[in-house]
Structure formats: C-alpha cells, structure tokens
Copies of this chain bind each other. A is one copy, B any other.
Amino acid sequence: MFLATATNSLDAKGRISVPADFRAVVSDGGFEGIVLWPSVHGGFLEGGGMALLQDYQRLIDNMDPYDDARMAFERSIFAESRRLSFDGTGRVTLPKDLAEYAGLEKQATFIGLGRRFEVWNPDSYQSQADAARLMARENKHRLRLVGRAPLRAPSDEPRS
C-alpha cells in the first residue's frame, strides 16, 4: 500500500529518487520500476506499479468493447503511461513532457494514496492538501467502518 508523502529533488538530468517505501510496494509486479501517466483530473501525474496496471486491465476486460468509458480509460491510462525503471539507487528519469505537464522543476512530491500514488509540484499540492483536510472533516461520518462494526446505536465514532 502506498502511504505517506515525500518531497524529493529532480537533478539536472531529470532523475528523481522514488521514496524507498514506494519501491518496496512495486516490487511485486515483476518489473523493477514504476508506471506514470498524466492525470485526467488536473496538472499532476498518477502512478503505481505494474500490478496496478494489471488491475486496470482486468477492469477494462470486463467492460463492453464499445463502451465510451472503456475507450476513454484505454486512451487516458494505457496510451499515456510510461514505464520507468529504477537505476541502481532507486531513481527514475522523468520524461520531459511529463515533468512539464505537472510543472515539475526542482522538486516533486510523491503522495501515497493506497493503491496508487500521485506526483505533484510541491507548491501546488499544499493547497490541495488543506482543502482535502477540511472536506474530510466535514464528511467524517461517511467513514464509519460498517463492515466489521459491532451492533450499536447509530451515533458517531466514540471520539472521546
């Protein structure tokens, strides 16, 4: 699972260290590296290991061949994504167009989001994070762990 956030530097050759925790996660897909693509949600990158891509593949296989969403999916993820392998010390070289798309220059922030991660310009991310925190607080009631929760009155988590 991709967790935590870390900000690392891009060097003159466009190389950047992938956080060690993330490297440990992607080692399962059989490919020593990550996959990155420009996000359809905004000016940042999304990524994961090969295992994630295989999950998406399986998802798409189950969609109707002429479903619009399917084609959008195929185009926006598979067609746009790059396979970047680690060098000896766990860095990848960021293709120029991806760096440009996400506005990455000196540094980049890796954000762990469970199954996948995102790569942001550090400054742009800050405001995102603040907004997310606010919204999470306002919607906290939706995070109840109903699956394994014992039978109890519908009051909120006993945050005492």
Contact = CB atoms under 8 A, between A and B. Distances in A.
Given A146-B153, A158-B113, A132 B82 contact: no
Contact of A135 (B41, B68, B80, B111): B68
A40 B111 contact: no
A142 interface: yes
A11 B29 CA distance: 37
Number of copies: 2
Nearest to A76: B136
Interface residues of A, number: 66
A64 to B, nearest CB: 11
A86 interface: no
A6 B71 CA distance: 18
Interface of A: 1-5, 21, 35, 40-41, 50, 53-60, 63, 68-69, 71-83, 111-115, 128-129, 131-137, 139-140, 142-143, 145-155, 158-160
